[in-house]
Amino acid sequence: MPEFPEIKDIAAPVEPAAQLITPWGWWIAATVLGLVLLTILFFWLRALSRRVNLPGLPSRPEKAALRELEVLRSQVETLSPQEMATRLSGVVRTFLQRQTGVLALYATSPEILGDRPRAGEPPPPPVVGAFREVLQASDALKYGSPRNPGPQARELIDAAVQAVRLAALPLGTPPPMPPPAAPSSGKPQPLYEVT
């Protein structure tokens, strides 16, 4: 075979370097990474659950009032007449304020009922009239000294429940609109004239 002077010895192939990470090292790294991700997810979900929850819409005024009146009815025997009348008046006033917008928590009973209106205030809505007897009897029980307050308190709570149910009834649907008047000439009249 002819010799080629320009070809020198070919270098031997280079041995690959030893692997820096063995296969089981990859599994360990993947496990550590998975644990880190799970830990981050756990703390993130925990932080979400600790956020301040905004309250939803308040319950309907009549439901809240009826629930409070039932609680009051169960406590009639343990409360003094003045305390019972004060709490009953508070339930009714809160209902009226939430249902009608009348500032009943900040007014006296005669002001709420329209007997002594404040300057510049409109008359009370008709719903307030259903509570006239309850508010007046509650004031009498609060500031008077009845001989037998137990039955009177139960009757007063029953009257308040009836007034709340009456005030919560829907007003009904308005009457339908009358049909439009027919034109006298028999032809439809244009809304505008083209000139």
Q: Please check the confidence at residue 161 and state whether its pLDDT lies above 70.
A: yes
Structurally, the chain folds into a number of domains equal to 1
Q: How far apart are CA 128 and CA 113, in angstroms?
A: 6
Task: Report yes or no on 174 lying in a domain.
Answer: no
Q: Using one digit for the tens of pLDDT, what is the confidence trace for 111-133?
A: 888 888 777 777 778 888 888 88
Mean pLDDT within 169-183: 67
Task: Report yes or no on 55 lying in a domain.
Answer: no
- Which pTM does this prediction carry? 0.57
How much is the pLDDT for 188? 61
Radius of gyration in angstroms for the set of CA atoms belonging to the chain, rounded to a whole number: 41
b vs e for 146-180, b when ≥16 Cβ sit within 10 Å of the residue's Cβ? Answer: eeebeebbeebbebbbebbeebbeeeeeeeeeeee
Domain that holds residue 78: 61-168
How much is the pLDDT for 38? 96
152, 141 Cβ separation under 8 angstroms: yes
Token readout for 31 is 């496990």
Task: Report yes or no on 185 lying in a domain.
Answer: no
